[in-house]
Amino acid sequence: MQRINTALITGASSGIGQALAIALSRPGATIHLAGRDQRRLEATALACRERGAAAHTRVIDVCDAAAMAKWINGIGHLDLVIANAGIGAGSEDGRPETANQVRVVLTTNLDGALNTMLPALDRMLLQPPDSRGLRGRIVAIASIAAFVPAPNAASYAASKAALDVWTVATAHNAARHGVQLTSICPGYIRTAMTAKNRFPMPGIMASDKAATLILRAVMAGRRRYAFPWWIAGLARLIGALPPTWSARILAAAPGKAPLQR
């Protein structure tokens, strides 16, 4: 695998973000870690430093576009940026989500990701290309939920669908100018977020294994990588059904817990 010397990861205090930070850490690497919990961020940073990397933490809200742009633009050269921060919420009682929950989920999962990716894209377009013409890589952590209009996780699925489509669509023109974009659509990963789910999670995977698969796909230049393949295939099949059919199937599945705020 080609080496990544400088990386920036949001949502790095736990789960996939933490696993990716650790997987990228080695002597000579510099990892910039963002999150909302300083104590947990420092735990991730310590794990990175134990592997020889220089790790810097920043407590920041990805929904603050100006703060995110200032932070990213002040770092310098970046080989890899991963927009991983996000929240999961849904409906467990068959009622529509509250207006507040819909707005919070969409703002965090979509706007928060774009607040990371857009300044990173602008910055990378100005970076000198390497011998292959590559200026940098940007990764969006979406979800297999992007492929299905799940009635019990409507705003979550919508936020991930929009993020996935924007990333894949933008990847074509970005690649022409030396910036690689990749949308990652994982299934269930063992994290603090999925620990709240009170239902069976088929194909659930450890976060360190997921990080290995994600980085392999990114370094291979994939524009979209959905895994496990069999869950991704089933999700696409259900998503291709007429809406009333897919709703009958998906409405029977337990929903995510509602947002507690």
pTM of the model: 0.93
Q: 9: closest CA among 221, 257, 184, 260?
A: 184
Q: Does pLDDT of 94 surpass 90? A: no
Fold type of domain 6-251: Rossmann fold (3.40.50)
Cross-strand bridge partners of residue 229: none
Establish whether 188 is a catalytic residue.
no
Q: Does pLDDT of 197 surpass 70? A: no
Question: Both tokens of residue 37?
Answer: 């919990």
Cross-strand bridge partners of residue 182: 139
What pLDDT is recorded for position 164? Answer: 98
Q: Each residue of 68-93: pLDDT tens digit?
A: 999 999 999 999 999 999 998 888 77
Per-domain residue ranges for the chain? 6-251
Q: Where are the alpha helices (DSSP H) in the chain?
A: 15-24, 38-50, 65-73, 99-106, 112-125, 154-176, 207-219, 229-239, 243-251
Q: 154: closest CA among 256, 37, 80?
A: 256
> Considering 147, 156, 225, 227, which one is annotated as catalytic?
156
Question: Both tokens of residue 114?
Answer: 């774009």
Decide: 180 and 136 in contact? Cβ < 8 Å. yes
